[in-house]
Structures are given as structure tokens and as C-alpha cells.
Amino acid sequence: MTTQNLKQEFGKVGVLFGGRSAEREVSLMSGQGVLAALQGKGIDAHPFDPAERSLAELAAEKFDRVFIALHGSYGEDGTLQGALEQLRIPYTGPGVMASSIAMDKVMTKRICLSAGVPTPKFAVLDAGQTSADQLQSVAREFGLPLMLKAPHEGSTIGIAKVEDANGMQAGFDLCAKYDDVVLVEQFVKGRELTVPVIGSGRNVRALPIVEIRAPQGNYDYQHKYFSNDTQYLCPAPLDEEFTRRIQALAVSAFKAVGCTGWSRVDFMVRESDHEPFLLEINTSPGMTSHSLVPMSAKVAGTGYEDLCVEILRLAKLELKPSQHSKAD
């Protein structure tokens, strides 16, 4: 399709990035990449940072659709999606409900378990009312090492791997800075895999699996976005049957939570018995130079610019106008 046709198809496009979450830095990198890609295709794309401009200004821009490149709170959690529904501006990624659920690791686990997608054993602790004795009791119940997580954060922010009982309090305090509750998760030793899922309705498909091999298995914020020490294998070196199984689980999780458009589903595969466990669903995945969705899409034959166009083409509104809605 020519650049003129793309410009006509999409009209005026806003790329939303930056924002106010703890993941602002990553969002800026994602958004700048998406903006350059869309403009490189001849699309009339413009930057918009919700941390610096109001919803009134967003409405005044009269965007025909927006590409959400925000990560974390106020962008990936359903709040922005709800505002865009009110403004009647089609947007990329899942809708209000799915975005809200997927942003909550606890709710994601509960829903995916009900759909037959396994997740590691977990418990939820009150960030303000959990005693040292309770923490030690949890350590004994789950065994060590274990994972502590702020369930509403992403990009490995608010996460701690506890190696021994003496580290429980420090790990808990770190996570409690970011959330009202702390997720305790059984540690799964093994291979880390991620599966991009893209599409809507009957056209949902899983892209090639990426295996992540970080130094000492420590896939933290630095190794995720800035280090060149982390290895990414795509397609992951898995046999064909197991590859299909993981991709099917990713699509099942995507659909169970109610996702549309695109997302990325993260798994651990236990070393002892090769059983997979879902960790989380990212409904606005990174689009930086180190990001995994563009890496997977490239292996499938779709370059970065074309991927951005495909995601933008899937932009929509989740809520249909009621019969009492005023016509535009």
C-alpha cells in the first residue's frame, strides 16, 4: 500500500507515550520508535504525552485513532482506555476490562487458572499489615527461593527474588513501595519464554516464541532494556509439538482475559519436568530496540514499520454507541 493510501486510511494519528507511571522512561523509547515508524510510512502521526497535556487537549487534537505506547499505570491499566472510549477515539490494544485485568497479576492468574492455563502457586499479602512472623511463615510454606512482586507494576519494577529467609523483609518492603498488596509467587527454575499474540476475533495468532537468557537468570530492568548481555533466541529452540503447546496456551490466556489487538504473554518452563507456567500478560508491550514483539515479528517476516502499521490497523473502540448516543 502506498504512503498516500496509508495516510488516507488512518487519518490523523496520535502516538501516546511518556505518561506518569514508573515505566515512563521505557515508554518514551517505545513511543519515539513507533512515531518514527509510522511517519516513515507516510502516516500523519503526532506525539502526545499525557503527563504533559490534558484530556481536553487530547480531544482538541481530533485524532482519528491513537497508538498507545504507554506502559504501566495510567496507560496500560484501563484508565486511559476508558477515557478514549468516552472521547470516541479508537485505540490500539485491549479494551478497558482486559487492560485492567491484565495489569493486575493476581486477577490474571485467577482468570487464566479458570481457563486451564497453569500459573505458579501464589498468595497475596497486605502491604501495610503483614508482620515479620507472617513473612517467615510464607517463606516456609512456599520454600526458597521465591518471588515477591508488586502486582500492578511491570518492566520488572517492584519485584524481588528472595534467596533466603533473611531477605524476606527487604524484598517485601521494596514491593510494598509500589502497591497496596504484595504477590508471593513460587519460584520456577527453568527457561523463560515470551509469546507475542496479535489479532482480533477469529484472526488471533501467536507469533514465534522468544527465549530469554539473562546473565545468572537475572532478567531485571537493566538487562531488559539497556544491557547487551542478555541473549534472545527466536524462534526459541523448542520441538514443534511443545512450541504449538506454548503458543496455544498464550492464545488461551489472551482470550480468557478478553484481549484484542495485541499483547505479549510471558511463561516459565520448569526445568525439572518441562511444565509451562504463565507469569503475566503485557497488554502494551515494549517497542524499543531491545523489545521482544518486534524481534518475534521480524522472524515471522514482518519488519518494525509494518508491525506498527498492523497494530494501528487493529485500533478500535470496545463499546458500541447506545441508541441514545448523540451522532457525531
The residues near 284 (Cβ < 8 Å, ≥ 6 apart) are 68, 69, 70, 71, 75, 76, 93, 99
Active site residue 266: yes
Residue 275: active-site member: no
Annotated active-site residue in 14, 23, 171, 318: 23
Contact 121, 146 (CB under 8 A): no
List 27, 73, 100, 155, catalytic entry: 155
Task: Determine which one of 185, 266, 305, 318 is catalytic.
Answer: 266
Q: Which of 76, 77, 104, 280 is catalytic?
A: 280
**Catalytic annotation on 296?**
no
Distance CA 122, CA 312 (A): 36
The span from the CA of 109 to the CA of 120, in Å, is 9
The answer to whether 286 is a known catalytic residue is yes
Q: Decide if 225 is catalytic.
A: yes
Among 24, 65, 191, 264, the active-site one is: 264
Quick check: is 241 catalytic? no
Catalytic-residue membership of 5: no
* Spatial CA neighbour of 207 closest among 263, 257, 287: 263
| Residue 51 CB contacts under 8 Å (≥ 6 apart), including other chains | 18, 19, 20, 24
- Residue 211 identity: E
Q: What is the DSSP string of 128-184?
A: SS--HHHHHHHHHHH-SSEEEE-TT--TTTTEEEE-SGGGHHHHHHHHHTT-SEEEE
- Give catalytic status of residue 173 as yes or no: no
Residues catalogued as catalytic: 23, 155, 225, 264, 266, 280, 282, 286
